[in-house]
Amino acid sequence: MKPRLSTEEYAAGIASGDRVVLAKAISLAESNLPEDQKQTAELLAQLKPKTTTIRIGITGVPGVGKSTFIEAFGKHITSLNKKIAILTIDPSSQLTKGSILGDKTRMDELSKNPLAFIRPSASGNTLGGTTGRTRECILLCEAAGYEVIIVETVGVGQSETGVKSLVDFFLLLMLAGAGDELQGIKKGIMEMADAIVITKADGDNVKRAKEAQADYQHALNLFAENTSGWKSKVLTSSALENKGMKEVWEVILDFKDHVTLSGYFELQRKEQRTTAFRESFDQLMKNELNRFTEIQKKSATLEQEVADQKISAHEAAGQLLELYYRTIKKT
């Protein structure tokens, strides 16, 4: 094993855009070792934060063509001579199960592009939570000069809320289909989207995609405006025919202009940072509670008693807090 890099070596490598050092720094940020966490904190403190970047969350059901879309979109971005980083978030598994099969072919072309940096899933099994780690990875990529950051979710329904708190712009990929179009899309996800893109709008599918576009635009118009004052857009795309990528990027740029002008862009980032602080603290507290097996056992017992209506929720909470205090004071 090679000797570990110093924080200064990490910082210099990242600042110069060294991909190997960036990859190592991300591993450091994802590590559960206390010394690695400490060094990550030091490193982040040394790096200059960038505000000229755009962070884009992308989600959609399996089969919607997420990787294909991101590869086509990434190629459009790199064709504009912009650097793009693609991070995957997966709270459910150590390894991205969904991508094991397709690992070699996944975004094959894009991964060879020197302007693109692709990094598979941060593990869900990390102290501090997946979103906390992904946030640090975003900051590292930005410090390495990546202007467009994609945060891709694996699966639908578990991680979107987390991703929403990490990004500036949230993109939902949808399939045009007869009837029940949103099968598998959890309620509330559509409302989070700043844009919906109907994928695979090619060949015989174009007409259906256009119909779905009109349907979703109508449905979105029924909702109130986003907090940002931005009206969500619906677009169509075809990765196969390389169509729609320019339009998607232009909508994102429109969005950025809109929210930069209104001040919402910086406001949202500030809020995301303070939310991250509170979440991080809550997570640390939970980790602490789990350190004590006595508390874990009592908590499980109380939960069962509450479920079975043997004790009120309030009463049970009080008992658990008492035990927690007694335990901490003993340490």
Provide the minimum distance between the beta carbon of 311 and a copy of itself in the complex, in angstroms, as a whole number: 7
By the rule CB under 8 A, 20 interacts with a copy of itself: no
- CA-closest candidate to residue 156, choices 142, 174, 131: 174
Binding segment toward a copy of itself, per CB under 8 A, in 42-50, 85-93, 110-118, 236-244: 42-50
By the rule CB under 8 A, 142 interacts with a copy of itself: no
- CA-closest candidate to residue 231, choices 194, 201, 260: 194
Out of 273, 290, 294, 296, the only residue in the binding site for a copy of itself (CB under 8 A) is: 273
- CA-closest candidate to residue 32, choices 124, 164, 170: 124
Segments of 74-210 assigned E as strands: 84-89, 116-122, 148-153, 169-175, 195-199
Contact call for residues 140 and 14 (beta carbons, < 8 A): yes
Q: Nearer to a copy of itself by C-beta: 90 or 142?
A: 142
Out of 221, 262, 290, 296, the only residue in the binding site for a copy of itself (CB under 8 A) is: 221
Tokens of 223: 């909702």
Range 291-310, binding a copy of itself (CB under 8 A):
302-303, 306-307, 309
- Cα–Cα dist 252/168, whole Å: 10
Number of other CB atoms surrounding residue 220 within 10 Å = 17
Provide the minimum distance between the beta carbon of 14 and a copy of itself in the complex, in angstroms, as a whole number: 15
Chain Cα centroid distance, residue 183: 22
Q: Nearer to a copy of itself by C-beta: 32 or 79?
A: 32
Number of other CB atoms surrounding residue 218 within 10 Å = 10
Residues 6+ apart with CB under 8 A from 200: 65, 175, 176, 209, 238, 239, 240
By the rule CB under 8 A, 329 interacts with a copy of itself: yes
By the rule CB under 8 A, 135 interacts with a copy of itself: yes
Tokens of 61: 């059901």
Out of 5, 120, 158, 186, the only residue in the binding site for a copy of itself (CB under 8 A) is: 186
By the rule CB under 8 A, 323 interacts with a copy of itself: no
The single-letter DSSP state of residue 205 is G
By the rule CB under 8 A, 27 interacts with a copy of itself: no
By the rule CB under 8 A, 180 interacts with a copy of itself: yes
- CA-derived radius of gyration, the chain: 22
Provide the minimum distance between the beta carbon of 289 and a copy of itself in the complex, in angstroms, as a whole number: 9
Phi then psi for residue 139, to 5 deg, are -60, -40
Q: Nearer to a copy of itself by C-beta: 207 or 291?
A: 291
Q: Nearer to a copy of itself by C-beta: 104 or 187?
A: 187
By the rule CB under 8 A, 233 interacts with a copy of itself: no
Q: Nearer to a copy of itself by C-beta: 73 or 255?
A: 255
Out of 78, 177, 184, 240, the only residue in the binding site for a copy of itself (CB under 8 A) is: 184
Number of other CB atoms surrounding residue 249 within 10 Å = 18
- Tokens 């008693």 sit on residue: 305
By the rule CB under 8 A, 44 interacts with a copy of itself: yes
By the rule CB under 8 A, 104 interacts with a copy of itself: no
Number of other CB atoms surrounding residue 91 within 10 Å = 21
Q: Nearer to a copy of itself by C-beta: 18 or 279?
A: 279
By the rule CB under 8 A, 56 interacts with a copy of itself: no
Contact call for residues 74 and 86 (beta carbons, < 8 A): yes
- Cα–Cα dist 156/153, whole Å: 7
Query: What is the contact surface with a copy of itself in residues (CB under 8 A)?
Result: 37, 40-41, 44-45, 49, 128, 132, 135-136, 180-188, 190-192, 215-216, 218-219, 221-224, 226, 270, 273-274, 276-285, 288, 302-303, 306-307, 309, 311-318, 320-321, 325, 328-329
